[in-house]
Structure formats: C-alpha cells, structure tokens
Amino acid sequence: MNPLIQLPDSISVSEVTGLREQWLQAMEHQPDNTLIDARAVVDIDGAGIQLLAALAQSLAARGQTLQLLAPSATLTEALQRMGLTFATLSQSSEAVA
Amino acid sequence: MSTNNDQDAEFIAQMLPTFVSEAKEQLDALESLLLKLEDAPADRELLDALFRCAHTVKGSAGLFGLDHVVAFTHHLETLLDLMREDQCPWSSEISTLLLECTDEIGRLIQVGPGEPGSGGAVGRIDLVKRLQEACAGRETQGEGATSAPVSGASIIEHSEPSQGWRIEAAFGPDTFRNGLDPVALLAHLSGFGRIHNAQTDLARVPSIEDLDPESCHLRLHFDFDSTVTRERIDTAFSFVKDDCTYEVLSLGAATHKVEAVKNAFKEHETKAPSTKVAGPDTTESTKFIRVQADRLDTVINLLGELVIAGAGAEMLARQSGQAPLLEANRQISQLVEEIRNGTMQLRMVPIGETFARFRRTVRDVAASLDKDVLLEIEGGETELDKSVVERITDPLMHLVRNALDHGLETPEQRAASGKSTQGRLKLAAHHDSGNIVIRIEDDGRGIDRQRVLERAWERGLVERGVVPPDAEILALIFRPGFSTAESVTNLSGRGVGMDVVLKNIEALRGSVSVLSDQGQGTTVEVRLPLTLAIIDGFLVSVGRAKFIFPLDSVIEVIKDSAARLDDRGRGVIELRGHPLPVVDLRALYGLEGTPSERASVVVIQAGEDTYGVRVDALLGQHQTVIKPLGRMFRSLRGMAGSSILGNGEVALICDVNSLCGLAMDSTPPHTARSNSSDSSGSELVLSSTN
C-alpha cells in the first residue's frame, strides 16, 4: 500500500500550516491508511513534532495507530531528545483517546 | 539551474550594500554596548545584546557568503558566549580586545568577499589568537579552581560538584511564532550537561483537526545533570522566558523548590531586551524604510527647482491680475511649502549618533594620554540635516581631540590644582532659531592668554607689545600659522588645524566661538544652520540688488531713524533705550543708487548678539533655495550663498554671523579689512605646561 503521507524533508514552523491542510485532505481520501513515510525528514522542529503528535492523536481517536515507515535519523534523534518514541507517540494518543 | 544561480548572484550583488550598511549599524551597536559594558561589566542584558549583535552580523554575513567575516566573528561570538555564561569575567583587556575585533569586522566587511585584505591578515591572526587565549584562559582558571578553590565569581560553578536538576517547562502558545523551539532549547542545554528521563507531555496537543499548528501546546520535563549553577540554567531559558513557564528543582534537595519564574504566556516581543539596551538607534530600525541617500537628494534638488518654478508662476499670476489664478497659485505654493517641510524632515537625523561615535575616541585617546575622562552627552536627540552631520563630524572630532589633548590635564595635574582627578568632557546640542548649537565643554586648564599672545607676537599676528581685547586673543587660535611644531602631537596636530576647523564650519554657513576661563576649562560653541538646502527667507532690496536673511534670525523691522554712519556704513541707533549697531548694505558693498527715503532697519539675531541692517525696501517672506556662491565670491564677507528668484534674478543670502562681525567691528576700516579677510584659524594651543 502506498503511504498515506509522504513526509517532506523539512517539517518546521514555516511549513506546518500547509502540511496540516495536505494531511487532512489525505486522511479524508484514505480513511483506512495510517502509513507515514518518514525517510525524507532532514529538518524538524518542535512545531513539526507537535503536528505529528496531533496526527497520531486524530488517528488514535478513530482507533487507529500511526505507523512510521523508515524514519530518518534526524526524526529519530529529535523524538528521542524530546523523550518521545514512535511507540509513545501512539501510546499517548491512545491514552488520550 | 544556472539562471537561478545567476539570479542569486545578481540578488546578492544588489543586496550587498544593504547588508554592509546594516552590518555597520550592528557594529556601531556592538561598540556602544561594549563601551556601556565598561560601566556595568556584570550587566546580563548588555551581554545578551552583545551576543545577539555579533550573532546577527555572523548570520547575515553567512547569507552573503562572506566566509571570512563568519569565521572571524565566530571567534568573537565564542568569547561573548563564555562571558554570558559567567565563564570568562570582564576585564579592561578583554574589552579592548573586543573593541579591536569590532573594528576588524568592520574592515573585513569593507573589503568584501574573496579579498581578505592581505595587509590586515597578520593583525587578524593575532586577534584570533588573543580571542582564543581569552577563551582558553577561563578553562585553565577553571581547572585551577577545582584543585585549589579560589574565590571569584568566574569560578564558583567549578567549585560546586556536579548535581542533578529536575526541570519542567510549559511553553506558551506563541513560542513557535516567536521563532523559538523547545527542541533547540534541549540541544542547547545538552551542550553543558546531560539530559535524561526526558518526557514530552502531549496531553494538551489537540487532534490535527482542531490544531492551530503554529500554536505551541508542548510541555517538557527532564532531568539535567550538570556542574553549572542555577543561574546558568536560567540564562539558557532567558531567550524563551517570556513564552515559557518553567521550574527548576534541585534533585540534591528535592523538597527545596528553587524560585519558579512565571512569565507565563504574556505577550512576547522577541526584540524587547535589545531595545532596552541598545537604544533607539539599532533596534527601532524595523519601523524604518531604508532609502538610498542619493534618491532623497534627488528629490530635494527637484524640490528646489519646484520652489523656484513656483515663485516664477506666482509672479506671472500676480502680473496677470486674475484673482482665481492667484488663488490657485497660492494653494499650490502652500502645498509646495508643506512638501518642502516634510521632505526636509526626512533628512533630519539626531546628532546623538555622531556624539556616540566620540565615546570610542574619548576612551582610546584618554587611555593613550593616561587621562581619566568622563564623557557626558546632552541633547543627543537634537536633529539636523544629514548632509550637515556628515560634514561636521571631522571638525567636531578635531575639537574633541583638542580638548582631550590640550585642555584636560592628567589626574596628577588635576589633583595638584585641587580638581577631581577625573576630567569632564561634555558634548551638548540644542536648537536655537533655525540653528543647531553644539558645545564641546571641558573642565581642563583653559586657554593660557599669555602664551597665546606670546605666540601671536612671535608669529607677527599681532604687533609685539599690543594686547588686544580678551575675545580677540581667544580668536587668535583660529588664525593660520598659529600652531607650532612643539604643540603638534600625533593626536590633535595632524596637520588639520583650528583654521581648517573654522573653514569647514564656515563653509556650512556656521560659526565658532570660544569661551575659556583659565584653570577652569574651555567651551567651544559651534553654531550651524539646520539645513543646507532650502530655508524660509526674508527678501529685501538695496537699490537693484536683492538680499535674503534667514527668516529665523529676523526679530523685527523698524523704521530707519536716519542713523549717522561712517564711510563703511556702520553706526549705532537707539532701540528702546538700548544701542543697536547698524550696518548699511549700500555703503558696505558700494552699491549704486541713492539711499531710499523710506529705508528700514532689519533687526537680526546672531547668537547672543543683536544688530540692525539698513535696507531700502522690504519684499517679504520668500522660500529660498540655497545655491553656493561661485569661487569668485568665496572671500566675500557677510554673504553665505545665493538664490534664484522667480523672475530669474539672483539674490544674495546674508550670513548673519559674519555680517554681525562687520556691524560690530569698531576698529578702523583698514584694520577691519585685514582682520576679516583672513580670519581663518590655526592649531589650538591651550597650555603652558604641556
């Protein structure tokens, strides 16, 4: 299956508004897809991480789990620094859900 | 792609001048901050502002590919960062080093990319070495401290063992919008400690449907192992503190809650701290539009032409006698006048920026002369035309150097004469009837009249044995050929004498006066017109000749009561019980025609003095575009420039200050002539002991 979202190379505060629109559209078109291709990310800041978390939140609310495909080193490192893992992203969303 | 690159290169070439001028502003700010830091070495806000300035220069230099500037500034930034972190204490040596580095960056920016200016390369390497030594200095200091604790602020943190902190931070909604990033904050903290048990609380992050992605809802808590002090952690948070509520708990004493800083979510202004410190000159630039000076000059020149053309049209309208045309013209004139005032205002800049530049001069010169000097600045907000500012800086610099070199004494000499050891130099400015008055005041030894006289006798400027009035003795210092080799130091005696200072100021239609109390100090007062371009004038005629007085200096006009005048047209009349010196322009300039029966006396204020000028007829207010006098007329006393009237006639603009000299001059005509024709000045010598 093709991923729901192909993460761009940069997910920072200047991109998050546009990305949110794109992602919402994608979610509408493919409601069953939860696959996020994360191999391209070379730059992510707090706003980008928050957007990913919000996406996870929404999926969790529908009983779905975010699946990160091939996360780049940058993304992994940024999440680790924040004390987040791919699992906690999904977990915390479940907890809220 | 290549076209893209070409476009980039073109863009960079276009933007480079803007970068250079902005970088210069940053460097000026750096310099003034460094000087302020000398008075308050522990001021955290100053240090932060310094760091930001250096960082801005480095960042924008990087954008323009000025790698040599980036590389050099990086070293400066490193040292500033250490100072900010209390790891490297302020000292006067470091201050001097930082100032030298600021100068060097200025040079590097001037030279431009690709040409690192081979002449300065050695000096630069030396500066980098000294910067690195200064940085390294704190490390060795630190190591020494762990083995043998020494008191001192810079090493306190090393005397404390590594300890753990528990940090909780809740970021406000505007965090991202203000360009701040929790991830970057963590990266910064991990630079001087170990972060573990980090957790991000996502509970407040809404689902993506409800999220405003630029609002921050993140909360962080983590353990932080580090040897640094609580203050150091606060510093790390200082950039986000307006957007962030955070608590720092010492894990060593977990129950003891160290002060929690709550500045939660208040409206944030990223630049607020630097505004406070750097003052209006650097940080308010966001409110300004940058305009190239020559574009503004073009507008002002055109405006001058418009004023002249407008006067011509008005005259024709008046001749036609058509009331509606006259009315329409009057409206146009009024609008032109408003545009004129508004446009001239655009070119007005506060003189404080020029004064601030002298801070550095005073610091360096005083240090090199072993003098202790306090510089006071007053009226820095006083505005004047930018073109005047540019041309007044050098003469002012010379006067300041003179005061430092010849006027102010060394601490020992001051103590010996019962003064405080610290000398005082004051730069002050204020507006006075269309002029700006700049005073350079020192409390030094004053001008030694006897010595000035002796030199004047020696040089044949005054006949030996003759003692002129006090004011004339003081004026002797402006005569060419007054200075001698012995008084020429490398500071003030650079071949630019007081005569050149006077000439430069007179070229701006200005004047200089000196007041001096021996042993108490000297005040040099420079009086300049606010603008060089267009003024409100008062038009008069003498025979067929037209003259213009600056309207600001005209006090009143009285009917001529047939004053008795000498053959050069000077005399005295009585005005409300006071004598008023009067000069008659017809006699003074040998104009033809017979004196009018209804002559008037225009009463003029020139600085402290009031005098009258006798003219034939009053022609009223006139917008005057100032044109310089031709070379032939440069030596003409009493005239400052010319202007073209609406009908194409030329009017001469009176220089109220030099005309005042001619009106007041009571000496016999032949002396007056020789005095006035060469009363330019000379090197100032103020001391008998130096």
Strands B219-226 and B163-171, bridge-based pairing: antiparallel
Q: CB of B211 within 8 A of CB of B226?
A: no
Mutation for testing the A interface, residue in B174, B190, B205 having most A CBs under 10 Å? B205
Measured between beta carbons, the chain A residues lying within 8 angstroms of B171 are: 46
**Mean of pLDDT values over A4-9:** 88
| Chain position carrying tokens 């073209």 | B644
Q: List B435's β-bridge partners, or say none.
A: B432, B529
Element (DSSP H or E) covering residue B346: helix B323-346
Please name which of A39, A50, A51 lies closest in space to residue A75, comparing C-alpha atoms.
A39
Task: Write the CB contacts of A89 (distance below 8 Å, at least 6 apart in sequence).
Answer: A52, A53, A56, A66, A68, A79, B202
pLDDT (0 to 100) of residue A87: 66
Sign of CA dihedral B249, B254, B258, B262: positive
CB contact under 8 A, B208 and A47: no
- Burial (CB count within 10 angstroms: exposed 0-12, middle 13-18, buried 19+), residue B193: buried
Cα–Cα distance between A43 and B109 in angstroms, integer? 31
DSSP state letters, B115-140: ---HHHHHHHHHHHHHHHHHHHHHHH
Pick the CATH number of B534-677 from 3.30.43.10, 2.30.110.10, 3.40.50.720, 2.30.30.40: 2.30.30.40
Measured between beta carbons, the chain A residues lying within 8 angstroms of B199 are: 83
Strands A67-69 and A35-37, bridge-based pairing: parallel
- Taking the CA of residue B499 as centre, how many other CA atoms within 13 Å lie in the half-sphere pointing to its CB? 13
Q: CB of B553 within 8 A of CB of B604?
A: yes
pLDDT (0 to 100) of residue B76: 85
| Residue B181 contacts A where some CB pair is shorter than 8 Å | yes
Measured between beta carbons, the chain A residues lying within 8 angstroms of B214 are: 13, 16-17, 47
| Residue B188 contacts A where some CB pair is shorter than 8 Å | no
| Residue B137 contacts A where some CB pair is shorter than 8 Å | no
Cα–Cα distance between B152 and B147 in angstroms, integer? 15
Closest chain A residue to the Cα of B188, Cα to Cα: A81
Cα–Cα distance between B551 and B622 in angstroms, integer? 9
How close B240 comes to chain A (CA, Å)? 13
Closest partner CB to B198 (pick from A46, A58, A83): A83
Number of Cβ within 10 Å of residue B82's Cβ equals 18
CB contact under 8 A, B203 and A96: yes
Two structure tokens written together for B235: 């510093």
CB pairs under 8 A between A and B: 96
Helix axes A46-61, A16-29, angle to 10 degrees: 20
Measured between beta carbons, the chain A residues lying within 8 angstroms of B200 are: 49, 53, 82-84
Mutation for testing the A interface, residue in B168, B171, B200, B224 having most A CBs under 10 Å? B200
| Chain position carrying tokens 């250079």 | B20
| Residue B106 contacts A where some CB pair is shorter than 8 Å | no
Measured between beta carbons, the chain A residues lying within 8 angstroms of B181 are: 13, 45-47
| Residue B214 contacts A where some CB pair is shorter than 8 Å | yes
- Helix (H), strand (E), coil (C) string for B256-278: CECCCEECCCCCCCCCHHHHHHH
Cα–Cα distance between B247 and B238 in angstroms, integer? 13
Closest partner CB to B207 (pick from A13, A57, A84): A57
pLDDT (0 to 100) of residue B355: 87
| Residue B191 contacts A where some CB pair is shorter than 8 Å | no
Residue scoring higher pLDDT (A67 or B672): A67
Q: CB of B193 within 8 A of CB of A44?
A: no
- Three-state DSSP at B478 gives helix
Cα–Cα distance between B275 and B273 in angstroms, integer? 5
Cα–Cα distance between B628 and B17 in angstroms, integer? 31
Q: CB of B172 within 8 A of CB of B244?
A: yes
CB contact under 8 A, A92 and B175: no
Burial B473-495 (b: 16+ CB within 10 A, else e): bbbbbbbbbbbeeebeeebbbee
Q: CB of B495 within 8 A of CB of B398?
A: no
DSSP state letters, B615-666: ESEEEEEEEEE-BPPPGGGTT-TTEEEEEE-TTS-EEEEE-HHHHHHHHH--
| Residue B165 contacts A where some CB pair is shorter than 8 Å | no
Measured between beta carbons, the chain B residues lying within 8 angstroms of A19 are: 213
| Residue B270 contacts A where some CB pair is shorter than 8 Å | no
Closest chain A residue to the Cα of B190, Cα to Cα: A81
Sheet containing strand B435-442, strands side by side: B373-378, B423-432, B435-442, B521-529, B511-517
Assign domain A5-96 to a CATH class. alpha beta
Measured between beta carbons, the chain A residues lying within 8 angstroms of B187 are: 81
**Structural domain spans, chain A:** 5-96
- Helix (H), strand (E), coil (C) string for B287-343: HCCCCCHHHHHHHHHHHHHHHHHHHHHHHHHHHHCCHHHHHHHHHHHHHHHHHHHHH
Cα–Cα distance between A43 and A24 in angstroms, integer? 22
**Structural domain spans, chain B:** 9-143, 157-271, 293-346, 349-529, 534-677
Measured between beta carbons, the chain A residues lying within 8 angstroms of B182 are: 46, 82
How close B337 comes to chain A (CA, Å)? 47
Closest partner CB to A55 (pick from B203, B208, B218): B208
CB contact under 8 A, A17 and B220: no
Pick the CATH number of B349-529 from 3.40.30.10, 3.30.565.10, 3.90.1170.10, 3.40.1360.10: 3.30.565.10
Q: CB of B374 within 8 A of CB of B411?
A: no
CB contact under 8 A, B207 and A13: no
Cα–Cα distance between B16 and A1 in angstroms, integer? 50
| Residue B331 contacts A where some CB pair is shorter than 8 Å | no
Measured between beta carbons, the chain B residues lying within 8 angstroms of A45 are: 176, 181, 183-184
Cα–Cα distance between B586 and B606 in angstroms, integer? 21
Model confidence, pTM: 0.49
Give the CATH number of domain B157-271: 3.30.70.1110
Cα–Cα distance between B363 and B372 in angstroms, integer? 9
B157-271 and B534-677 in the same fold: no
CB contact under 8 A, A58 and B209: yes
Mutation for testing the A interface, residue in B166, B183, B186, B223 having most A CBs under 10 Å? B183
pLDDT (0 to 100) of residue B455: 82
Q: CB of B396 within 8 A of CB of B438?
A: yes
Cα–Cα distance between B663 and B568 in angstroms, integer? 10
The per-type count for chain B, helices as H runs and strands as E runs, is 21, 22
How close A97 comes to chain B (CA, Å)? 10
pLDDT along chain B (690 residues), means of 10: 59 73 84 85 83 82 76 84 81 86 84 52 78 69 35 32 78 85 84 83 87 90 83 80 82 41 32 36 54 82 84 85 88 86 82 85 86 89 84 87 87 89 91 84 88 83 83 82 52 59 82 87 87 81 90 87 74 85 87 81 86 89 78 74 83 86 61 34 29
Number of Cβ within 10 Å of residue B558's Cβ equals 15
Measured between beta carbons, the chain B residues lying within 8 angstroms of A50 are: 205, 211, 213, 216-218
Q: CB of B461 within 8 A of CB of B481?
A: yes
Q: Compute the mean pLDDT over every residue in chain A, rounded to the nearest whole number.
A: 82
pLDDT (0 to 100) of residue B540: 93
pLDDT (0 to 100) of residue A51: 92
Sheet containing strand B261-262, strands side by side: B194-201, B219-226, B163-171, B244-250, B261-262
CB contact under 8 A, B218 and A50: yes
How close A25 comes to chain B (CA, Å)? 11
How close B248 comes to chain A (CA, Å)? 17
| Chain position carrying tokens 């955070």 | B246
How close A1 comes to chain B (CA, Å)? 23
In the stretch 361-380 of chain B, residues with CB closer than 8 A to chain A read none
| Residue B610 contacts A where some CB pair is shorter than 8 Å | no
Domain B9-143: give its CATH architecture.
Up-down Bundle (1.20)
Interfacial residues of A (vs B; Cβ cutoff 8 Å): 13, 16-17, 19-20, 23-24, 27, 44-47, 49-51, 53-55, 57-58, 61, 78, 81-84, 89, 92-93, 95-96
Closest chain A residue to the Cα of B179, Cα to Cα: A13
pLDDT (0 to 100) of residue A20: 93
pLDDT (0 to 100) of residue A94: 39
Two structure tokens written together for B494: 């650079």
The number of angstroms, rounded, from the C-alpha of B491 to the middle of its chain's C-alpha atoms is: 21
